[in-house]
Amino acid sequence: MVDNNRHKQDVNDAIDDMEVDVNTLARFKRHLLEEDSVENRNEVERYLVDGCEDPNDDKLDILSWWKINASKY
């Protein structure tokens, strides 16, 4: 009888540990999603993610571009 109770306790403990692991994994996944959100990126990361202008575009006016885009960075 003692062995049976001990076995049940071991199984219950193992289940509790798995539930903690599942909850921890879910929180970690949520954290990664939050970290990857645009709002949490710093200015450099947002700048690097934006596409590049065509360097061969003769009409590109870098000062005008910067005036338009300065508020983003």
Regarding predicted confidence, which is higher, 19 or 55?
55
pTM beyond cutoff 0.85: no
What's the length of the chain?
73
Proportion of the chain above pLDDT 70, given as a percent: 64
pLDDT of res. 16? 66
pLDDT of res. 22? 76
Task: Kindly report the average pLDDT of the chain as a whole number.
Answer: 78
What residue spans define the domains of the chain? 2-72
Identity of the amino acid at 71: S
**Both tokens of residue 34?**
């939050």
Distances (CA, A) of 62 to 7, 44, 53, 71: 73, 18, 10, 15
For residue range 30-48, list pLDDT tens digits in order. Answer: 888 877 665 667 778 778 8
3-state secondary structure of 53: coil
The DSSP line for 59-73 is T--HHHHHHHHGGG-
